[in-house]
Amino acid sequence: MNANNTGQKNAHVVWQVMSITRDERERLQGHRSFMVWFTGLSGSGKSTMIYAVEEQLYRLGYRTFALDGDHVRRGLCADLGFSHSDRSENIRRVGEAAKLLTQAGVIVLAAFISPFKADRQKVRNLMAAGDFIEVFCDCPLAVCEARDVKGLYKKAREGEIRDFTGISSPYEKPDHPDLVLETAKKSVEECTGMVMAKIKSRLQFADLGKADLAEL
C-alpha cells in the first residue's frame, strides 16, 4: 500500500475531539499515565519484568495494562509473520494501541523484542514528551539461549524458524535507553526496584499522589 492509497482511504476520516480529556481521566485515577517499553532479545526477561512491575503498581493502586508480544500475536497481529516489514507493522500497531491506553489514563507496560531502532523511535514519536520510557533488558545472547524458555533458539539453530532475532536476524541495541537492566546479573526484585525508582517521579501529580508512593 503506497502513501497515495493510504491518503485516499483516510480522506473522509475526521478527528473527533473527546469530551473527557486525558488530564481529567488521570486526575480521576490519581496518577499520570505513560508507557514503559521493555526491549531485548527473546529470553532476556522482558515479560518477567512487565508482570513484576505491574504487580507492584497494582498493589499500590495504579491502573495498568501489560502488552506482551505473544499475546498480541494471537489477536491484534495474528495476520503478521516475522519478515522485517511484518515486524515493523507489529510494533506500529502496538504503539498505536498503547497510545490509546495512555490517553485513557492507563500506565502501559509493553514487552517486545522490537529489534529495530527505527521502529522503537516511531513508537516514541507517537507519545507526548516524557510518556515513553525505554528499558533495555541487556542480557548476553549466550545466556538467553541457555535459558531458551520457549525452545525457540533450538528451533532457530536447527533451521525450523527463519528470521529469528539474534540468530538469523539482527537486534539493534538502543543507543540511549532510559534504563538498562542487566538481567543476567541482577535479580527480578533488584530490576523491579530499578524500574520503580525510574518511574516514581512520573507517577503522581505535583499536588496529588498515592499515599503509598513514599514506600517506593
- Biggest CA–CA distance in the chain, Å, is 57
Separation CA 9–CA 188 (nearest Å): 46
User: Which whole-number Å values give the CA distances from 162 to 84, 112, 148, in the listed order?
Assistant: 11, 18, 16
Q: What 3-state DSSP class applies to 111? A: strand
Instruction: Report the first-to-last Cα separation within the chain, whole angstroms.
Output: 48
Q: In sequence order, what are the residues at sequence separation of 6 or more whose Cβ sits closer than 8 angstroms to the Cβ of residue 35?
A: 98, 99, 101, 102, 107, 108, 109, 110, 127, 131, 132, 133
Residue of 42, 47, 114, 169 marked catalytic: 114
In the annotation, is 201 catalytic? no
Q: Which positions are annotated as active-site residues?
A: 114
